[in-house]
Structure 1
Amino acid sequence: VQFKHVVTCEDVLQLQEDEKEVTLFRVHIDLGARWVVLPESKVEGGSEEKEEENIKAVIEATFLAEYLIEGEPGQKALDAFALKNASIHVWPYWREFLMSQSMRMNLPKVALPAVQFASNNRESAGDQD
């Protein structure tokens, strides 16, 4: 089983609600799992050839997490929040969705960890404060 977990984009929206301005922060998270039969290496004429992956099933979802913002936290803080916190908030829903869909499709059971961070959540030592 191969997994996908990427924070794809984030938006800040300003809405007017009953003469009051509301600011929303939206984070889009792509999640997925696919069941594949890995290729076997073949040696023909001294060179190594690989067969293509044989994909048996794919389950994917895009989650949208919305947050109310008070004040102006700044773009750097919003970026950090999107990468480090939004995934934690949607993860239980993804786990349940993946397990229920895989059972309905009669696929092997997949036990996901209690929490996982997005694969694009990479920080270098210079980025840390």
Structure 2
Amino acid sequence: MSDNFDPDVSLEGEELSLQTVFPTCKSIRQYEGADDEGGRHRIVFEMFAGLRVLDLKGMNPQELTAESLAELVCARVECHFFVKYDFQVDADNRPLDEECLALFAQHNVPFNVWPYWREIVQSACGRMGLPRIVLPPHRLQKSATVAVSKGSSNSIGPASQHG
């Protein structure tokens, strides 16, 4: 929280603005042989999410520079999540495909992290004396269908885009 911001005094009659960073993957690490038998791989996704609370003091955010917006930040909540998944691998014990992992990190991991991120934002803002901020539930959006080739159980890829 900003040193010159007192939520009990500064928020009277003020309207706050929120800026958020949706949970985003920062790194993916693969570990072979995550169990004693060596038939599983452990994947660790490092995810980052952020939120900042701005006291715009009646100013239009579209007219402000990044530097002047940074001066209006009265509180921020940032979090790194390390999300572990264990995957069963084929008999060749090959690492999982990088493209598949990137798609998984973009779509599945944020969905799994979202409830924890919502709770962190709500509880951190309450502890800072800010008004209760409740992020909405994460809703799945239909962005692509998946085609599975009948010849191979490992051939999965986007078939078409839907809006």
**TM-score, normalised relative to structure 2:** 0.60
Q: Within 5 A, what are the aligned runs for 1:1-129?
A: 1-5=18-22, 6-15=24-33, 17-18=35-36, 20-21=37-38, 22-38=40-56, 40=59, 52-53=68-69, 54-71=72-89, 72=94, 73-115=96-138, 128-129=158-159
Larger radius of gyration: 2
Check whether the contact 2:48–2:81 (CA below 8 A) recurs between aligned residues.
yes
What is the identity percentage for the equivalent residue pairs of Structure 1 and Structure 2? 25
**Segments ≥4 residues shifted beyond 4 Å:** 48-51
Aligned length in residues = 115
- Tell me, which stretches of 5 or more residues in structure 2 are unaligned? 1-17, 145-156
More strand by percentage: 1
Q: 1:16 to 1:66 in 2, by over 3 A?
A: closer
- Tell me, which stretches of 5 or more residues in structure 1 are unaligned? 42-47
How many angstroms does 1:86 deviate by? 0.4
Question: C-alpha separation between the residues in 2 aligned to 1:15 and 1:100?
Answer: 37
What is the CA RMSD across the aligned residues, in angstroms?
2.8
Bigger relative contact order, structure 1 or 2, given CA contacts below 8 A and separation 6+?
A: 1
Amino acid at match of 2:101: L
**TM-score, normalised relative to structure 1:** 0.74
